[in-house]
Structure 1
């Protein structure tokens, strides 16, 4: 692949206002997780680079805030057009650095464009309100931007999640400093270039690449940042909350989950099998809202499991750039090793029955990549780590249940509360699941889908705040009231 080192440096200088000599001499190598080959490299940013980026965002803030919301929306719309024009190139870059099949990368890039179009489309409706107070007077209530927002992007869905954060933050009139994941910064950088080429003024969106413990922590601690929006692990999220709340920063934290999928005896079995297959093995299971725990009514369990096992064994595993690949590699060797340990411990303790998969793919041509076999584990006990922890990979634990009461009780046996789904043809069953399952979003007869119009976020240890929709736009702004006494 063509290398972009000089281009990244020029882009960082143009967007962030950084001088050539200010960047650290060290670099971060970005590797293809399917082959181990180096794709490119990006600068390993420092705390000084974060400060310079915040300064650039501060300098651009007044001019960006003065633009009308329509003007800001037009820039987002033009960027969406350019992304659609370049979606194949962007998707290929995403697959190279992240590993997911090209088909999924294309969907993610198009999803990013869809998000920008949504926020551009609602820009004309963003108006203040007049509150009539009778003899007391009148009040004009408007929303104004928070200021400079710090954004930290994960590696699993870097393009889509960048859209979730950049779209509402920029439309609301904020400037930003964004830190992409160290393993997947390239497509985020390219998307920043497209925004700049679409009319975004220099300094409005600043990218600082680097390690989380250096760049991320400096971003959270910086006194010039008014809001932090983070998507990632619970452990890191709790650390961010501790640092940010001590400075009274606004927070949006999306910290993952252990999403349950409940399949009742009246469900369409084939449709539910399709949902479980995609819901768990899409992006090699590296999705916050992936199906992480499957509860199947015992009346249909044998048929359901037989069909699901057959479908899993038919998945084509390989390099995401190859035709027909259904599942690519994991993105992180650390994450793969954790999955190996949990599955092996389950097998050794007879704490579940591995029906298919279980283990790394280390034969040619997989031996250079971070591949793990898609795995189905039956008869898993609630206290097993597959059920009690978030397993970020292609492993699906299954428990049979005798009724809806048991399914809901077991679904709620978690410290998380991000998403959940119920598969049924009974409206009462669906309503009970919606009312009683602890999750920020509950799907009926589907899983994973999160369009930009719909607020998305969790409860408990799944985080704070909401992405998407008008709710996200509100979270990047605050009200200000003009009271008129006549």
Structure 2
């Protein structure tokens, strides 16, 4: 089995092309932080339009060999990459912590699921890409083929840098495309390591490349004429700009996984322990930096007091903010200081609008990592659905408690948002829970659970939360173009007139 030599410093050489970690000459740079200690660890050169165009051209050439391989042959490379990840899972997870700030326990899950992602798409591609056959009348037939687009331009998010990169890279490669990937400048290192893993597994030259930069770099990538499909994870405003750019540049198909402002409805028949567990599941993983998080927790008016008291007691017992490399920590560092201050600003705005801060909501300085970007997880009570904090995506560990009197009222307020990524409902009555789930306007609904995510199950949003689906067969097919071919088997052709 191929092995991987992990570099001593993942922040040196943050570009990837010609099948190796490298750097470029550039007049512009951005700072790269290690969030857990709050320090700049390097400066990354930014890819300008000329650099982007050069890399896309390399990927265009690299795709030719890759697409000429059978799905089974491509799948063999992806499966080798999955095995390399598993052999180096502990070390990769530690690097993920250092380049993102999430707790090591969560990082290990992300890395493991990324290997599963490669295995899944490698496994389904040979059958899924066969196409269909149609016998027709008058000695005719038709069949379809699934063909890759060519070069895919992928732009990733910073909250799950290794895992969400793999959600795009694995299906795109399995379908026979090459990929040019632009990470978020807030967590730029993981996709470069993915490149080294893929090359160690046997990926052909320039089938996968990484560029670095901010908005201008992403724009140059999307507008390059050789990019035939775009996949983006990020904010709604950026997603809207990308969709417009795709329409201007030849009607390029795009998958957009955007923001959310999800709601969790706790019915009054829910056992209090289950209500608390569901609310925690929906809010505090990854420092609250999860797009599906149900920051709006709707609690029946008659159970609000009991719920608040029990929730605060439980959170004081279970939440540990600290060095994310410590196994005891379950709340790590925020992605950067401006984002940390933004989350604190939301807490202050809620207080100014009449809400009550029940716990947390401020910066903390854990022992040994005092300069890192740490936030004490927050619970805010006396919230109404009209408050700023209940309308805008916070992307931090802030739970909002909103009371309701009828389930119809809760459903109305849950749906009264521009977003539609996820939602949840807890109830002892599964029939009632299913009814509420049918009425909630979101791409994923959780019933008596929250934030489940399986690679073979579609994931994506409704309304302003995006278009298209990640994961599952749906994702693989979205990286292909369907071609239909008609064949007349008759030796004599009739003109029809």
TM-score range, shorter chain: over 0.9
From 300, 309, 330, give the equivalent of 1:326: 330
Q: Structure 2: how far apart are the matches of 1:93 and 1:145?
A: 33
Q: Do the aligned residues in 2 keep the contact of 1:82 with 1:194 (CA within 8 Å)?
A: yes
CA separation of 1:132 and 1:111: change in aligned 2, threshold 3 A: same
Structure 1's unaligned 5+ residue stretches are none
Q: Do the aligned residues in 2 keep the contact of 1:28 with 1:42 (CA within 8 Å)?
A: yes
Q: Give the corresponding residue for 1:479.
A: 482
Q: Structure 1: how far apart are the matches of 2:264 and 2:17?
A: 43
Q: Do the aligned residues in 2 keep the contact of 1:54 with 1:148 (CA within 8 Å)?
A: yes
| Structure 1 ranges of 4+ moved more than 6 A | none
Q: Do the aligned residues in 2 keep the contact of 1:15 with 1:203 (CA within 8 Å)?
A: no
How far is the alpha carbon of 1:303 from its aligned partner? 2.2
CA separation of 1:4 and 1:280: change in aligned 2, threshold 3 A: closer
Q: Give the corresponding residue for 1:221.
A: 223
Further displaced range: 162-171 or 134-143: 134-143
Q: Give the corresponding residue for 2:138.
A: 135
Q: Do the aligned residues in 1 keep the contact of 2:278 with 2:426 (CA within 8 Å)?
A: no
Q: Do the aligned residues in 2 keep the contact of 1:15 with 1:204 (CA within 8 Å)?
A: no
CA separation of 1:294 and 1:253: change in aligned 2, threshold 3 A: same
Structure 2's unaligned 5+ residue stretches are 1-6, 490-497
Q: Does 1:377 align with 2:383?
A: no
How far is the alpha carbon of 1:299 from its aligned partner? 3.1
Q: Structure 2: how far apart are the matches of 1:41 and 1:73?
A: 36
Q: Structure 2: how far apart are the matches of 1:254 and 1:433?
A: 24
Q: Give the corresponding residue for 1:195.
A: 198
From 104, 107, 130, give the equivalent of 1:105: 107
Q: Give the corresponding residue for 1:405.
A: 408
Q: Do the aligned residues in 1 keep the contact of 2:158 with 2:187 (CA within 8 Å)?
A: yes
Q: Does 1:2 align with 2:8?
A: yes
From 439, 450, 467, give the equivalent of 2:470: 467
Q: Structure 2: how far apart are the matches of 1:378 and 1:360?
A: 19
TM-score w.r.t. structure 2 length?
0.92
Q: Deviations over 1:58-80 (max 9, x none)?
A: 11122111111111111111101
Q: Does 1:337 align with 2:341?
A: yes
Further displaced range: 446-455 or 43-52: 43-52
Q: Do the aligned residues in 2 keep the contact of 1:30 with 1:41 (CA within 8 Å)?
A: yes
- What RMSD over aligned residues (CA atoms) do the two structures have, in Å? 1.9
Further displaced range: 136-145 or 408-417: 136-145
Q: Does 1:272 align with 2:284?
A: no
Q: Deviations over 1:305-360 (max 9, x none)?
A: 2221122223110120123011012102222222222211221332x111111222
Q: Do the aligned residues in 2 keep the contact of 1:4 with 1:40 (CA within 8 Å)?
A: no
| Correspondences of 1:362-441 after superposition (within 5 Å) | 362=365, 367-441=370-444
SS in 2 for 1:300: helix
Q: Give the corresponding residue for 1:241.
A: 243
Q: Give the corresponding residue for 2:70.
A: 68
Q: Do the aligned residues in 2 keep the contact of 1:47 with 1:218 (CA within 8 Å)?
A: yes
Q: Structure 1: how far apart are the matches of 2:163 and 2:449?
A: 20
From 225, 230, 233, give the equivalent of 1:231: 233
SS in 2 for 1:449: coil
Q: Structure 1: how far apart are the matches of 2:292 and 2:442?
A: 11
How far is the alpha carbon of 1:272 from its aligned partner? 2.7
Q: Structure 1: how far apart are the matches of 2:70 and 2:46?
A: 36
Q: Give the corresponding residue for 2:494.
A: none
Q: Deviations over 1:373-420 (max 9, x none)?
A: 111011101111121111110111111112221111110011000011
Q: Structure 1: how far apart are the matches of 2:373 and 2:139?
A: 67
Q: Do the aligned residues in 2 keep the contact of 1:3 with 1:40 (CA within 8 Å)?
A: no
Q: Structure 2: how far apart are the matches of 1:2 and 1:198?
A: 20
| Correspondences of 1:16-165 after superposition (within 5 Å) | 23-24=25-26, 27-126=29-128, 127-135=130-138, 137-165=140-168
How far is the alpha carbon of 1:5 from its aligned partner? 5.8
How far is the alpha carbon of 1:366 from its aligned partner? 5.7
Q: Structure 1: how far apart are the matches of 2:477 and 2:271?
A: 39
